[in-house]
Amino acid sequence: MKLARKGENIYKRKDGRWEGRYVKGYDLSGKRKQGYVYGRTYSEVKEKLIQLKANVKNDKAVASSNLTFRKWTEIWLENKGQIKASTLMVYKSRIKNHIEPALGDIKLKMLNKDILQRFIDNMCLQYKAATVKSVYALLKVILEAAEDKQLVSGFYRGLKLPKTGASKVKALSVDEQKRIEAVIRERNQQNDIGVIICLYTGIRVGELCALRWENVNLDKGIIAIKETIQRIENTDTEKKTKINFSTPKSLASQREIPLPSFLIDMLSPLKKDSGFVINRYGKYVEPRTYARRFKKIIADAGVENIKFHALRHTFATRALEIGIDPKTLSELLGHSSVGITLNLYGHSLDEHKKKEIERLGKIYGLQSERAVINLEYK
């Protein structure tokens, strides 16, 4: 059989006839089913294929769309390929808790824009806008894969989603930060240094707990963030959850962060050749355990109950206050784009700009004062 012409599935057979191939549908596993047409000439077969492709109501649209949304989601997950265990856990959680209860039993051929819009509207009555958008983002990816298989059309696009305002982040005031640092000095406990590290590098609690001494270079004054640790759902044994080490959230999150000189001095007497920086008898400390340690510290400091993640926001806020530019801050935080940084901390940047403008405004007062002095000498 001769090779097909570029971009066409038309072949010259050994018996002299021409053969054309096309996708006529998919079985229940989502596997492609091949169809064939024959003719005495190339042009005849090409015309037959054009007619088949132009017929939008052919068998593939009917047979394949009898899949339920639940079944297609199972197929999609099975063929997702290698993804991080933590990401897979998030997918399964959103599917189980939000998507399947409402859409699981509906056949793909019955899904339409109205059904999905009602689904979104109902979610808006129960959940925050950010949750609704995250669920829709996953739903869209699943349906895009179904569209690629010609199981559905693009009706899922253009839905009305809830509006989300600018994210408000909680950061410590300078006074609160100083009080926490004072308590840590007074307690004089080695593992408390993790709070100082986060306040002056902005790393996440999972990144802190996964930080190993071999990734701390005090000669160069940097730490390399290569891992994160978190507790995820366990499907391998009877235990419901397990500890999982993985790479950080994105490629940008794998980064090197310079250390201030005072922190290098604090870490130097503690430095080891290997092992975890934050540890208990040499073993790692999991994030939620360390977060409880943080709660005790802020209670002793008389600071209101805040989440550990506020240390990251505090680092970003202080950085903007001293004039670090958003691009540099974005790289230090490990954000995939400077836009994410600006969306989170734009308000802090605006406040900093106002203070700087006030400093500039003092020039006017200085000039006015000089003008008065000049008048007095006339």
pLDDT > 50? residue 301: yes
88-92, 100-104, 361-365: which is most confident: 100-104
The mean pLDDT value for 219-238 works out to 84
pLDDT at 120: 93
Query: Which parts of the chain are beta strand (E)?
Result: 10-12, 18-26, 32-39, 216-217, 222-225, 228-233, 241-246, 255-258, 279-280, 283-284
Report the alpha-carbon distance of residue 77 to residue 344 in Å, rounded.
Answer: 32
Report the alpha-carbon distance of residue 48 to residue 18 in Å, rounded.
Answer: 11
Report the alpha-carbon distance of residue 254 to residue 103 in Å, rounded.
Answer: 37
| Sequence-distant (≥ 6) Cβ neighbours of residue 255 within 8 angstroms | 224, 225, 331, 332, 334
pLDDT-derived band at 73, boundaries 50, 70, 90: very high
Count of residues in the chain = 378
- Mean of per-residue pLDDT scores for the chain: 84
Helix (H) / strand (E) containing 138: helix 129-148
Report the alpha-carbon distance of residue 377 to residue 35 in Å, rounded.
Answer: 101
The 10s digit of each residue's pLDDT in 157-179 is: 889 988 866 556 789 999 999 99
For 343-366, letters b (16+ CB in 10 Å) and e give: ebbebbbeebeeeeeeeeeeeeee
Percent of the chain with pLDDT over 90: 47
**CATH second-level architecture of 176-303?**
Orthogonal Bundle (1.10)
Q: With 0-12 CB in 10 A as exposed, 13-18 as middle and 19+ as buried, what is 65?
A: buried
Report the alpha-carbon distance of residue 250 to residue 204 in Å, rounded.
Answer: 13
pLDDT at 378: 43
Longest dimension (CA), the chain: 113
Q: pTM score, two decimals?
A: 0.65
Tell me how far the alpha carbon of residue 35 is from its chain's centroid.
41
Residue span(s) of the chain under CATH 1.10.150.130 come to: 69-148
Return the amino acid letter for 164: T
pLDDT-derived band at 377, boundaries 50, 70, 90: very low
pLDDT-derived band at 349, boundaries 50, 70, 90: low
Nearest of 91, 101, 341, 74 to residue 202 by alpha carbon? 341
CATH code linked to domain 69-148: 1.10.150.130
Q: Which residues pair with 99 in a beta bridge?
A: none
The mean pLDDT value for 236-244 works out to 74
pLDDT > 50? residue 1: yes
Return the amino acid letter for 230: Q
More reliable by pLDDT, 227 or 166: 227
The mean pLDDT value for 223-252 works out to 80
pLDDT > 80? residue 367: no
Residue span(s) of the chain under CATH 1.10.443.10 come to: 176-303
More reliable by pLDDT, 298 or 86: 298
What are φ and ψ of residue 21, in 5° steps? Answer: -120, 145
pLDDT-derived band at 135, boundaries 50, 70, 90: very high
Nearest of 179, 188, 192 to residue 293 by alpha carbon? 192
More reliable by pLDDT, 7 or 99: 99
3-class secondary-structure state, position 33:
strand
Report the alpha-carbon distance of residue 253 to residue 246 in Å, rounded.
Answer: 12
pLDDT-derived band at 38, boundaries 50, 70, 90: very high
Lowest-confidence region among 38-47, 80-89, 106-115, 346-355: 346-355
pLDDT-derived band at 62, boundaries 50, 70, 90: very low
Residue 205 tokens read as 């609690």
pLDDT at 58: 41
The mean pLDDT value for 126-153 works out to 90
Report the alpha-carbon distance of residue 86 to residue 227 in Å, rounded.
Answer: 13
